[in-house]
Amino acid sequence: MARIAGVNLPNNKPLFIALRSVYGIGGKNAEDICDKVQIERTTRTKDLSEQDIIKIRKLIDADYIVEGDLRKEVSFDKKRLIDLRCYRGLRHASNLPCRGQRTHSNARTRRGRAKAIAGKKG
């Protein structure tokens, strides 16, 4: 089992799909990593040699911010916005969408489950 950036990569998936399980690596970055270390994208994770895994680890450590460091950076960015008391910061603090989405009829994932209000219809 390949372990990269503290994450166990799924064994039976192609490398460019398995790399996406690392926080901070999406589709484009995964394909770029495969190209830079010169490993076929469709190679299954279980078929990687120890040398290939080491190459991938070194590349990710050198060129990408992933997992804990990225989570920390994102949380500091949110904290900075909240401390500034700007509009986006206020939206983050009150757990509402901050990019202009409507909240009258949507945003359930951000606002939580709907609460029934007594006597309200329509």
User: What is the CB-side half-sphere exposure of residue 37 using CA atoms within 13 A?
Assistant: 25
15 in Cβ contact with 41 (< 8 Å) = yes
Q: How far apart are the first and last CA of the chain?
A: 54
What pTM value is reported for the model? 0.78
Which helix (H) or strand (E) is 7 found in, with range?
strand 7-8
Domains defined along the chain, listed by start = 3-64 (1.10.8.50), 68-103 (no CATH)
Output the CA torsion 37→39→43→48 (10° steps): -60
In angstroms, rounded to a whole number, what is the distance separating the alpha carbons of residues 53 and 47? 10
- The number of beta carbons lying within 10 Å of the beta carbon of residue 93 is 15
Pairing of strands 7-8, 3-4: antiparallel
- d(CA 69, CA 71) in angstroms, rounded, equals 6
Please give the pLDDT value at position 122: 61
Per-position pLDDT tens, the chain of length 122 = 788 889 999 999 999 999 999 999 999 999 999 999 999 999 999 999 999 999 999 999 999 999 999 999 999 999 999 999 999 999 999 999 999 999 988 889 888 888 888 887 76
